[in-house]
Amino acid sequence: MALAALGTWVPPRAVGNKDLPAHLETSDEWISQRTGIRSRRIADSGTPASELGIEAAREALTASGTDPGDIGLVICASVSPDQLMPATAARIAAAVGAGNAGAYDVLAGCTGFIYALGAAASSVAAGLAERVLVVGAEVISSILDWEDRSTCVLFGDGAGAAIVAPAEGRGRLLGFDLGNDGTGADLLEVPAGGSRLPASAQTVQQRLHFLRMNGREVYRFATRVVPESAERILAEAGRSVAEVDLFVPHQANQRIIDVAAKKLGIPEDRVLSSLAEYGNTSCASIPISLAHALEQDRLHDGDLVLLTGFGAGLSWGSCLLEWGA
């Protein structure tokens, strides 16, 4: 099972820490010291996540030389989908020419891309589809509360895509570790707009359609589950931490990345960070970071690559890849 190609797309508008609205009473110093974020891309108001996903998907299709008509399944991971229904994947599939492919969305917080990759690999292995297009697409700026400095400074918009196919490709998928602890479901959520708390004038007034997070608790959770999940997947694959050539963690906070890498014993030069430039792009953060690694010539044939994500749910997930195999 292989990851045949990658594609990414980010909106052109970069918003640096110093460009954030003055009413937030934040500072470049606070944001960069506490999170490592210096800038993020923000889509124009009214841009749907599918628009970013379509660009990333087209790039992945072209890079792999895949005829869109040969895609049997499109899976989109997003916490800021176009709509509650239909699936964002449906619009992406139609736009890229994979019109008859199955299409559905995955909602697993920022771990969504790893979950979607796992679903894609299993679908190919089970013969459900020959080739699967996996997309992580976010216009997360549309669900941020721009009055809440504790969350809105952390995130950015972007998309990443991958083709999963049985043949040899850019990376051989060696295995997955997926998990979730629903007792932490309230720690990172969009409270209203679903059947639990339907939209009303009151929910709008109370700003309950925006992302809310208990940052400290999510931080604690992330610094615990990221190393645990990484160790589990390595043990299952019979590989050791010392063999990991590149660690690509979900990009939420540089401090989380540093603590996790330190706990695992992975040296700094084997850890990928794209936070400074893009912030937390949720389901797009791992594919964007992988593409970043490729651009920087940090991925070579035979490299063992460890991807680990975490997020709302509270979810976590790891994937082990052998590059160029």
Q: Which residue, 209 or 239, is less far from ligand UT7 as judged by CB?
A: 209
Q: Which residue, 128 or 213, is less far from ligand UT7 as judged by CB?
A: 213
Contact 59, 8 (CB under 8 A): yes
The catalytic residue positions are 110, 250, 280
Q: Which residue, 17 or 66, is less far from ligand UT7 as judged by CB?
A: 17
Q: Closest separation between CB of residue 296 and ligand UT7, Å? A: 23
Q: Closest separation between CB of residue 48 and ligand UT7, Å? A: 21
Contact 128, 98 (CB under 8 A): no
Write the CB contacts of 256 (distance below 8 Å, at least 6 apart in sequence).
219, 222, 223, 226, 249
Q: Which residue, 31 or 173, is less far from ligand UT7 as judged by CB?
A: 31
Residues in a beta bridge with 40 = 15
Q: Closest separation between CB of residue 93 and ligand UT7, Å? A: 26
Q: Which residue, 153 or 261, is less far from ligand UT7 as judged by CB?
A: 153
Which residue sits closest to ligand UT7, CB atoms considered? 215
Chain positions contacting ligand UT7, by CB under 6 A:
26, 30-31, 34-35, 110, 149-150, 153-154, 213, 215-216, 218-219, 252-253, 280, 311
Q: Closest separation between CB of residue 79 and ligand UT7, Å? A: 9
Q: Closest separation between CB of residue 148 and ligand UT7, Å? A: 9
